[in-house]
């Protein structure tokens, strides 16, 4: 039987991989220019969200148990600056952040979960830091999906249960919790 800590880490990783997959499936539907679409001047483009998430992941999860999660080398404000990256480069940036984060989570042991870490010199338990990211990253992935749907409009390939198809989905034999495939 799994311990509670091991179960927490395993399910957190599965959930996060599922949300990453939703981002990946959104990116597959977009072209280079789509990554820079902004609904208005106050909105972030998908490219900016990728840059921000990656900066956050690299800063928070590099040496998370021994260094403050807000690294001196992080340039957070720069994450919100538009760069001329191709779709391929943006996906590479995205992968770099996720690889850092998932590798860190995979390296933690149950006894690490109650250890105190620091983010911006504020103390919190590792389990709280993971929960913080379980809210933060899906929030941004929801933004990515929403912008992707705006861009693609009628050409959007749904990532979830189609409208009006809930009953058929529930009666079907497919996996009901898509995160379980990770």
- Separation between Cα atoms, residue 71 and residue 82, nearest integer Å: 22
Sorting pLDDT into bands at 50, 70 and 90, what band is 182? confident
Range of the domain at 173: 4-181
Sorting pLDDT into bands at 50, 70 and 90, what band is 131? very high
Flag whether pLDDT at 1 surpasses 60.
Answer: no
State the chain's mean pLDDT as an integer: 94
pLDDT at 125: 97
pLDDT at 99: 98
pLDDT in tens, 36-80: 999 999 999 999 999 999 999 999 999 999 999 999 999 999 999
Number of domains the chain is built from: 1
Instruction: Assign 3-class secondary structure to the chain.
Output: CCCHHHHHHHHHHHHHHHHHHHHHHHHHCCCHHHHHCCCCCCCCCHHHHHHHHHHHHHHHHCCCCCCCCCCCCCCHHHHCCCCCCCHHHHHHHHHHHHHHHHHHHHHCCHHHCCCEEEECCEEEEHHHHHHHHHHHHHHHHHHHHHHHHHHHHHHCCCCCCCCCCHHHHHHCCCCCCHHHHC
6, 113 Cβ separation under 8 angstroms: no
Sorting pLDDT into bands at 50, 70 and 90, what band is 179? confident
pLDDT in tens, 9-21: 999 999 999 999 9
Which residues lie across from 125 on neighbouring strands? 116
The residue-averaged pLDDT of 123-141 equals: 97
- CATH number of residue 159's parent domain: 1.20.120.450
Read off the pTM.
Answer: 0.92
């Amino acid at each position: 039987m799994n311990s509670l800590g091991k179960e927490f880490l395993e399910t957190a990783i599965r959930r996060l991989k599922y949300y990453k997959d939703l981002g990946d499936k959104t990116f597959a539907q977009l072209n280079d220019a789509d990554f820079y679409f902004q609904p208005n001047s106050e909105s972030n483009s998908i490219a900016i969200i990728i840059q921000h998430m990656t900066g956050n992941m690299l800063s928070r999860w590099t040496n998370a148990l021994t260094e403050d999660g807000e690294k001196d080398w992080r340039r957070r404000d720069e994450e919100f600056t538009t760069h001329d990256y191709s779709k391929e480069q943006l996906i590479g940036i995205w992968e770099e952040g996720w690889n850092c984060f998932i590798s860190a989570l995979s390296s933690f042991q149950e006894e690490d979960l109650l250890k105190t870490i620091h983010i911006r010199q504020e103390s919190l338990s590792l389990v709280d830091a993971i929960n913080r990211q379980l809210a933060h990253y899906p929030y941004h992935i929801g933004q990515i999906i929403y912008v992707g749907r705006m861009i693609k409009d009628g050409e959007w390939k749904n990532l979830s249960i189609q409208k009006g198809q809930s009953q058929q989905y529930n009666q079907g034999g497919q996996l009901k919790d898509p995160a379980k495939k990770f």
